[in-house]
Amino acid sequence: MIPIRDNLSCKSPARATQVLIILNVIAFAIEMLLPAGMSDWFFSTFCVVPGNITEAFATWNLAGIGMGLLSILTAMFLHGGVAHIFGNMIFLNAFGKSAENRLGSLRFVGFYLLGGFAAWFFHYILDPYSMVPALGASGAIAAVLGFYLLFYPKAEFLSLVMAGPVPVLVSIRAYWFLVAWFVGQIIPGLDELLKPSMGAGIAYWAHIGGFAAGLCLAAYWKMVRPVSDVCYSPFMCKCGHEDCVKNGVSLSSLFRRRNVDSSCEHGCDVSEDEVQADLEHGRCDGDNHAPNCDHQRDSKRDQKTDAASDQSKQ
């Protein structure tokens, strides 16, 4: 499955994600323009080679240690071919926007790089003596997928699926898409552990490690900042009335609450906590909000009336 776009509308255009994509494309262009005699040196220097890192630490070669750590960073921007970079950038573009909005651009870049380091660490510890150069942004992007799964599990993705030789566009919930993707890494990853000689040249455990790191970092951020309204999920009411089409809903009630006016035939199902969150973020002000906001607006209006009455008495 190839993710095209999700149904979330976010406040920020996600510039950091766009910059990361541009940097990956520039790095790939440099790879393609390398003279034939420099390719071996370039990839052995700037890709992750676990054996070189192990040897550098074993001999306490500071220059080697420095180059090994640098290679972990540079390998995140290198790719092995057009299909490799195309697939990675499709995923980064599809999932990065919402994750960046939730974290903020600078934090997102830090998160992306940290996820990439975690991914390559997983790859390293499984075979610290391997001399095969490894490269790709997949591990860092896997961290973005893990983050997305925790924060936006019920978002819907327009995805391209091959039905035999025919490509078909389907809509699928994020949790189904991402769980299927993760299973697609776990099965060959375990097979690679059992049959090392049968490896397909794909760093599955870098993907798995990045995904796990993304989940852990997302869980931490959810504790730090549990409520946010930077992204919305657009809805249209069943009644189809033009006034019923709203910009979206809060993340705390994603895919459960419909912001509609009274002309629609259905209401909404929200908890008291979600109503309180709406009040705190000002989402119950103005007209044409969900029915659960009405009594809150009335309450606020009554409070203002009472306050004005008290002032006039004074």
Instruction: Give Rg (Cα) of the chain.
Output: 24
Is 169 inside any structural domain? Answer: yes
Task: Identify whether residues 202 and 75 lie together within a single domain.
Answer: yes
Number of domains forming the structure of the chain: 2
Is 252 inside any structural domain? Answer: yes
DSSP 94: H
Task: Identify whether residues 34 and 151 lie together within a single domain.
Answer: yes
Task: Identify whether residues 200 and 303 lie together within a single domain.
Answer: no
The pLDDT, as a whole number, for residue 306 is 56
Please report, for residues 44, 134, 302, 312, the alpha-carbon distance to residue 306 in angstroms, rounded to integers and kept in the order given. 75, 69, 6, 10
φ/ψ of residue 157, rounded to 5: -115, 135
Domain boundary pick from 224, 244, 278? 224
Q: Locate 122 and state its tokens.
A: 């997983």
CA torsion 138→144→145→151, rounded to 10°? Answer: 180
Is 246 inside any structural domain? Answer: yes
Residue type, 215: L
Is 229 inside any structural domain? Answer: no
Task: Identify whether residues 211 and 263 lie together within a single domain.
Answer: no
Q: Which domain holds residue 283?
A: 235-313
Domain boundary pick from 224, 246, 276? 224
The pLDDT, as a whole number, for residue 57 is 94
Task: Identify whether residues 215 and 245 lie together within a single domain.
Answer: no
Q: How many residues does the chain have?
A: 314
Task: Identify whether residues 71 and 188 lie together within a single domain.
Answer: yes
pTM of structure: 0.73
The pLDDT, as a whole number, for residue 232 is 63
Task: Identify whether residues 280 and 309 lie together within a single domain.
Answer: yes
SS3 category, 256: coil
The pLDDT, as a whole number, for residue 183 is 93
The pLDDT, as a whole number, for residue 234 is 56
Other Cβ atoms within 10 Å of 56 Cβ, number: 18
Which residue spans within the chain are E strands per DSSP?
Answer: 2-6, 9-10, 156-163, 166-173, 231-232
Please report, for residues 145, 192, 230, the alpha-carbon distance to residue 220 in angstroms, rounded to integers and kept in the order given. 15, 31, 18
The pLDDT, as a whole number, for residue 40 is 87
Q: Locate 100 and state its tokens.
A: 């960046």
Is 230 inside any structural domain? Answer: no
Task: Identify whether residues 177 and 242 lie together within a single domain.
Answer: no
Domain boundary pick from 224, 254, 269? 224
The pLDDT, as a whole number, for residue 109 is 96
DSSP 264: S
Cα 242–chain centre separation: 32
Taking a C-beta distance cutoff of 8 angstroms, is the pair 278, 284 a contact?
Answer: yes
- Sequential pLDDT tens for the chain (314 residues): 888 888 887 878 889 999 999 999 999 999 999 988 888 899 989 999 999 999 999 999 999 999 999 999 999 999 999 999 999 999 999 999 999 999 999 999 999 999 999 999 999 998 899 898 999 999 999 999 999 999 988 888 888 888 878 888 888 898 999 999 999 999 988 887 877 655 557 888 999 999 999 999 999 999 988 777 677 665 433 333 333 333 333 333 333 333 333 333 333 333 444 444 554 554 444 333 444 444 444 444 445 555 555 555 54
* CATH code, domain carrying 67: 1.20.1540.10
Q: What is the 3-state secondary structure (H, E, C) of 6-47?
A: ECCEECCCCHHHHHHHHHHHHHHHHHHHCCHHHHHHHHHHHC
The pLDDT, as a whole number, for residue 303 is 52
Task: Identify whether residues 246 and 187 lie together within a single domain.
Answer: no
